[in-house]
Amino acid sequence: MKEKTLSQIASLLGGEMEGDGSIKICGVAGIEQAKPGDLTFVANPRYKKLLKTTKASAAIVGKDIEKSPIPLIRHPNPYFAFSKAIQIFFDYQKTYPEKIDPTCIQGKNLKLGRGVFIGPFVVLGDDVEIGDKVVVLASCYIGDGVLIGENSFIYPNVTIREGSVIGKDVIIHSGAVIGSDGFGYAKESGIYHKIPQVGKVVIEDFVEIGANVCVDRATLGETRIGKGTKIDNLVQIAHNVKIGENCIIISQVGISGSSQIGKNVTLAGQAGMVGHIKIGDNVAVGAQSGISKDVPPNTTIFGYPAREIKKAKRIEACVSNLPRWAQRIKELEEKVEKLEKEVNLQIIKGG
């Protein structure tokens, strides 16, 4: 069991110690699951009250927490600090020796860097180049002419098709397909004819791609994923899409062909985009939004069709009131009908 004092952990995290720094910490846990000896954290203000009841021995917090019954490590970004604390207590990523499994199928002109690990039943095509300390686990397919940068990690059953370029320190999870054909057809005489997809995919450095993600190759040119972008499971990225640096793309997002996404964009779960539109830098898109036109920078949008967030909330409030308004209209119609009958009756009597 790994064990460190709280003050040692504070020093490793670059945090400010408050309380008894000599207490022993032997693990990390969520604030509601923690037990004595655990270090926990509070990043969301709604969990502040749980500091009074948690069984954790200490917590990582931000500057907004004034008092606590347990010792604290203060850090400007408690969630990030907690992620570093996890690495103190868990060897969460196995290390691999330099090795090519004998079941690996190797193409011609293969270039491998130092410290590369190639697992069982991997297929490496012709003219593949793999940088130093790359790990490719079991049953991956790496097509002809693929380039993979140093320190990248490819989980089992990943397909990287011909001509794709993978940067350094890239992580690709199981079931992902990089460089699948873009969805392009031309209709002639009532029949759909396939348009050859002869471009490529470029994944820049420090990108992480989740399980079962599909990134289509370009029809011509390239589909590009910018440096530092993180992509959740089950995302579809179509041909010729350009995604900027440090974007967050959450599960089940669909991005249609030739769309361009700026830097620091967040696409929440199940958001969808039509093709050939542009999303500016620092845009946030709410879950299940449908984006049908360009979005200017520094905007938060939501809804279907997606609108600026304040306008979308006003519309949503109106929609929620529709049953009440419908009942009110029905009541008014009944009153008007009653009044009309009374007026008509008076006219007849007066006549």
- 10 and 103 housed in the same domain: no
**Do 50 and 108 have their domain in common?**
no
Q: Does 116 lie in the same domain as 80?
A: no
d(CA 255, CA 253): 7
Please say which residue of 276, 293, 308 terminates a domain: 308
Q: Per the domain annotation, does 331 fall within a domain?
A: no
User: Do 162 and 209 sit in the same domain of this protein?
Assistant: yes
Q: Do 153 and 190 belong together in one domain? A: yes
Specify the residue for token string 């570093």: 84
What confidence tier does 238 reach under pLDDT thresholds 50, 70, 90? very high
Asked whether residue 125 falls in the same domain as residue 239, the answer is: yes
- CATH number at 59 reads 3.40.1390.10
Q: How far is Cα 40 from Cα 3, in angstroms, rounded to an integer?
A: 15
Query: CATH code at 273?
Result: 2.160.10.10
Residues 51 and 136 in one domain: no
| Domain identity same for 83 and 53 | yes
- List all residues 6 or more positions away from 154 whose beta carbon is below 8 Å from its beta carbon: 134, 135, 136, 137, 140, 148, 160, 172
Q: In this prediction, what percent of the chain has a pLDDT beyond 90?
A: 85
Number of domains in the chain: 2
Domain boundary among 31, 54, 89: 89
Helix (H, G, I), strand (E, B) or coil at 315: helix
pLDDT at 2: 82
Q: Annotated catalytic, 239?
A: yes
CA distance 205 to 56: 37
Residue 76 shares a structural domain with residue 107: no
pLDDT digits (tens, 9 = 90+) for 173-229: 999 999 999 999 999 999 999 999 999 999 999 999 999 999 999 999 999 999 999
Rg (CA), the chain: 29
Residue 350 counted as domain residue: no
Q: What is the mean pLDDT of residues 3-10?
A: 95
Q: How confident is the model at residue 312 (pLDDT cuts 50, 70, 90)?
A: confident
Question: Are 44 and 120 within one domain?
Answer: no
Q: Is residue 176 part of a domain?
A: yes
104 shares a domain with 192: yes
**pLDDT tens readout for residues 258-307:** 999 999 999 999 999 999 999 999 999 999 999 999 999 999 999 988 98
Catalytic residue among 173, 193, 239, 276: 239
* Contacts made by residues 343-347, CB under 8 angstroms, sequence distance 24+: none
Last residue of a domain, one of 69, 89, 109: 89
Task: Supply the pTM of this predicted model.
Answer: 0.89
Answer whether residue 321 is part of any domain: no
Q: Does 314 fall in a domain?
A: no
167 and 234 belong to one structural domain: yes
Position 152 in a domain: yes
pLDDT in tens, 135-146: 999 999 999 999
Structural domain boundaries enclosing 46:
4-89
